[in-house]
Amino acid sequence: MWLIVGLGNPGPKYEHTRHNIGFLVVDRLVGTTGAHPLSSSSFHGELFKKTQTLFLKPATFMNRSGLSVQAVKNFYKIDPEKIIVIHDDLDLPFGAVRFKKGGGSGGHNGLKSIDEAIGRDYLRVRMGIGKPAYKSQVIDYVLHDFSPEEMRVLPAWIDHAAKATLELTRHPMETVASTFSVKKPAWNAP
């Protein structure tokens, strides 16, 4: 059993913010795989299933994402090495896609929460959102909607990340990274 987690904040206010890129990728995965919803308030989020893959959008807000991930992990007895977390990353340029296993949170509160709840041995799909000019602007930046220019390339970027994430359930991370890593984005607007 695999667990694919997209990080974000619930509610329409945050729907198209940079911090919600994980939710957007999970939405695409649920749509393309035909996953069906599972309901249980004990999961603290929206959970979907398709064969041996679960898709989770924690409803705990970013800073408490670990609560939801831990609840699903424990209920389904999922090994941390079969958990993939998709998240925004300020340290990568907009549109980049990178892969990582373990490591630090890089100041990302959603990752900090997950690390505290289940440890660090999970896989990560890092979605580059760029960064603001000043560190004091980070909170406003991540909670702000994508720009019109970014919105034009968002579908292609999300598709790419969704395909890469599914490949992580079939192949070693190194193999997927060699094919799907995007360091310097060159997305074509649809």
Known catalytic residues? Answer: 19
Q: Write the CB contacts of 84 (distance below 8 Å, at least 6 apart in sequence).
A: 2, 3, 4, 5, 122, 123, 124, 125, 165, 168, 169
C-alpha to C-alpha distance for 54 and 38, rounded to whole angstroms: 9
- The continuous run of DSSP H or E covering 109 comes out as helix 109-118
- The token pair at 23 is 């939710």
In a 3-state reduction of DSSP, which class is residue 174? helix
Burial 62-87 (b: 16+ CB within 10 A, else e): bebbbbbbbbbbeeeebebebbbbbb
Per the listing, tokens 């310097």 go with: 184
